[in-house]
A and B are shown apart, each in its own frame.
Chain A
Amino acid sequence: MEIPYAVKARPDTGLYNAKVGIWLFLASEVMLFGALFCSYILLRVNAPEGMWPHHWLNIWLGMTNTIVLILSSVTVVMGWASLKMGQFNRYKFYQGITILCALIFLGIKSFEYHDKFIHYKVTLKDGRVADGHLQPAETTLPVAWHLQPVIVDGNLAKGAKPTDKVVLEGWWPKDEVALMNPPLEHKTENIEIPASQIKTMENYGPWHNTYTAIYFVLTGLHALHVIAGCIVIFAIWGPLAKVWEQDPERYINRVEVSGLFWHFVDLVWIFLFPVLYLL
Chain B
Amino acid sequence: MQPTSHADTHIQASHHEEPGFWQKYIFSTDHKIIGVQYGITGLMFLFFGLCLMSVMRWQLANPGQGVPIIGNLLFHMLGESMVSKTGVISPDLYNSFGAMHGTIMVFLAIVPLAFGAFGNFVTPLQIGAPDMTFPRVNMVSYQFYFMGGVLMLASFFIPGGAAKSGWTSYSPLATIADGNIRPNGQTFWIIGMVCLISSSLLGAVNFITTIIQLRAKGLSWMRMPFFVWAQFVTAFLLLLAFPPLEAAAVLQLADNLLRTSFFLPTGLVVSGQPMQISGGGSPLLWQHLFWFLAHPEVYVLILPGMGIVTEIIANNTRKPIWGYRSMVYSILTIGFLSFIVWAHHMYLTGMGVRIATFFQTTTMMISIPSVVILTALFISLWGGSIRINTPMLFALGFLPMFGIGGLTGLPLGFNASDIYLHDTYYVIAHFHYIVAPGTIFALFAGIYYWYPKITGRMMNEFWGKVHFALSFIFMNLTFMPMFIQGFAGMSRRLYDGGQTYASSGDVMGLSPDIIGLNTNIAHAVWALGLSQIPFIINFFWSINWGKKITSDNPWDSTTLEWQTPTPPPHGNFVKPLEVFRGPYEYSVPGKASDFTPQNEPEHPEPLTRGNPVRS
Contacts and interface: CB of A to CB of B under 8 A. Distances in A.
Given A28-B239, A32-B246, A36-B247, A17 B209 contact: yes
Interface residues on A, range: 35 or more
Contacts of A2: 130
B570 A1 contact: yes
Interface in A1-51: 1-6, 10, 13, 15, 17-18, 20-21, 24-25, 27-29, 31-36, 38-39, 42-43, 46-47
B403 interface: no
Interface string A218-247: 000100000000000000000000110111
B278 to A, nearest CB: 5
B262 A20 contact: no
A20 B5 contact: no
B213 A10 contact: yes
Interface in A172-187: none
- Classify chain B: how many residues form its interface, as a range: 35 or more
B57 to A, nearest CB: 37
Nearest to B289: A35
Given A3-B133, A213-B261, A243 B281 contact: no
B244 interface: yes
Contacts of A217: 250-251, 254, 260
A210 B264 CA distance: 10
A6 to B, nearest CB: 7
B209 A20 contact: yes
B352 to A, nearest CB: 16
Interface in B181-216: 201, 204-206, 208-209, 212-214
A43 B280 contact: yes
Contact of A25 (B205, B254, B261): B205
B11 A247 contact: yes
B244 A32 contact: yes
Contacts of B282: 42-43, 46
A161 interface: no
Contacts of B180: none
Contacts of B278: 207-210, 213
Nearest to A6: B133
B240 A31 contact: yes
Interface in B483-502: none
B261 A31 contact: no
B79 interface: no
B285 interface: yes
A33 B212 CA distance: 26
B239 A32 contact: no
A149 interface: yes
B276 interface: yes
Contacts of B107: none
Contacts of B144: none
B259 interface: yes
Contacts of A10: 213
A209 B278 CA distance: 5
B239 A17 contact: no
B1 interface: no
Contacts of A209: 261, 278, 280
A194 interface: no
A114 interface: no
A250 interface: yes
Contact of A39 (B134, B204, B251): B251
B8 interface: yes
A206 B248 contact: no
Contacts of A5: 133, 213-214
B242 interface: yes
B251 A207 contact: no
B254 A213 contact: yes
Contacts of B102: none
The interface centre, meaning the residue of A3, A5, A33 with most chain B CB atoms within 10 A of its CB, is A3
A205 interface: yes
Interface in B9-27: 11-12, 14
Contacts of B244: 31-32, 34-35, 38
A28 B201 contact: yes
B406 interface: no
B258 interface: yes
Nearest to A214: B262
B243 A32 contact: yes
B135 interface: yes
Interface centre among B134, B201, B204, B243 (most CB of A within 10 A): B243
B435 to A, nearest CB: 25
A159 B15 CA distance: 66
Contacts of B130: 1-4
A102 B76 CA distance: 53
Interface in B506-565: none
Contacts of A13: 212-213
B213 A205 contact: no
A248 B131 CA distance: 24
Given A1-B570, A28-B242, A207 B258 contact: yes
B7 interface: yes
Interface in B109-134: 129-131, 133-134
A152 interface: yes
A4 B130 CA distance: 9
B571 interface: yes
Nearest to B244: A35
B250 A149 contact: no
B5 A242 contact: yes
A121 B285 CA distance: 28
B571 to A, nearest CB: 4
Given A13-B213, A149-B276, A39 B11 contact: no
A54 B11 CA distance: 54
Interface string B124-163: 0000011101110000000000000000000000000000
B262 A24 contact: no
A81 B282 CA distance: 47
A27 B212 CA distance: 16
Contacts of A216: 254, 258
Task: Name, among A15, A33, A149, A209, the residue most crowded by chain B CB atoms within 10 Å (CB to CB).
Answer: A209
Contact of B260 (A1, A4, A213, A243): A213
A25 B209 CA distance: 11
Contacts of B239: 24, 27-28
Contacts of A33: 247
Nearest to B201: A28
A123 to B, nearest CB: 13
Most chain B beta-carbon contacts within 10 A, residue among A6, A33, A47:
A6
Interface in B226-255: 239-244, 246-248, 250-251, 254
A60 B335 CA distance: 45
A13 B209 CA distance: 11
A24 B11 contact: no
B571 A207 contact: no
Contacts of A34: 243-244
A3 B205 contact: no
A242 B7 contact: yes
A21 B134 contact: yes
Contacts of B281: 43, 210
Contacts of B204: 24, 28
Question: What 7 A-B pairs have minimum CB-CB distances, sorted nearest first?
Answer: A35-B244, A32-B243, A35-B247, A31-B243, A213-B260, A1-B571, A207-B259
26 contacts: A3-B131, A5-B213, A10-B213, A17-B209, A18-B134, A21-B206, A21-B209, A27-B240, A29-B243, A35-B247, A42-B285, A43-B282, A148-B259, A205-B258, A207-B259, A207-B277, A210-B278, A214-B262, A242-B5, A243-B11, A245-B5, A246-B7, A246-B8, A246-B11, A247-B11, A250-B11
Given A5-B213, A29-B243, 8 more contacts: A25-B201, A31-B240, A32-B243, A32-B246, A207-B259, A207-B278, A208-B278, A210-B262
